[in-house]
Amino acid sequence: MLDQAVVFAVAGGSGPTFVHDTPAAQKLWEQIKLSEALPDAACLITGKVGPIARLHPSIKGVKDAQSSGASLVSFNEDAYESYGHTQGDNAPVSEAAAFAYTTALNRFLADKAHRLQIGDASTVFWADAADMTLNAEHLTEAEAIFAQMFDGSGADTFADDKNETAKIKDKLDQIRNGQRLTTIAPDLAAGVRFHVLGLAPNAARLSVRFYWESDFGTLTANYQRYLDDTRLEPPPRDGWPPLWRYLTELAVLGKRENVPPLVAGEWMRAILTGAPYPLTLLSTVLMRLRADGEVNALRAAILKSVLIRNFQSKEAPVALDPANTNKGYILGRLFAVYEEVQRAALGGNVNATIKDKFYGSASATPQKVYRTLDAGSQNHFSKLRKLSPGRAVNLEKLLTSITDLMEPGNDPYPASLAATEQALFGLGYYHQRSDFFRKRDEKTDTDADGADE
pLDDT digits (tens, 9 = 90+) for 209-242: 999 999 999 999 999 999 999 999 999 888 889 9
Q: Is it the case that residue 83 has pLDDT exceeding 70?
A: no
Averaged pLDDT for residues 324-346: 95
Q: What is the CA radius of gyration of the chain?
A: 29
Q: Which has more confidence, 83 or 29?
A: 29
Q: What phi and psi, each to the nearest 5 degrees, are found at residue 240?
A: -70, 110
pLDDT digits (tens, 9 = 90+) for 406-437: 887 667 899 999 999 999 999 999 999 999 98
Nearest CA to 124 out of 181, 187, 204, 209 is that of 209
pLDDT band at 75; cut points 50, 70, 90: confident
Nearest CA to 210 out of 220, 192, 198, 222 is that of 198
Domain ranges of the chain: 327-452
Averaged pLDDT for residues 279-289: 96
pLDDT band at 160; cut points 50, 70, 90: low
Write down the H helix ranges in 216-369: 216-230, 243-248, 261-273, 279-292, 297-311, 327-346, 354-364
Judge contact between 243 and 227, C-beta under 8 A. Answer: no
Coil, strand or helix at 305: helix
Q: Which has more confidence, 81 or 9?
A: 9
Q: Which of 7-11, 31-35, 112-116, 445-449 has the lowest mean pLDDT?
A: 445-449
pLDDT band at 161; cut points 50, 70, 90: low
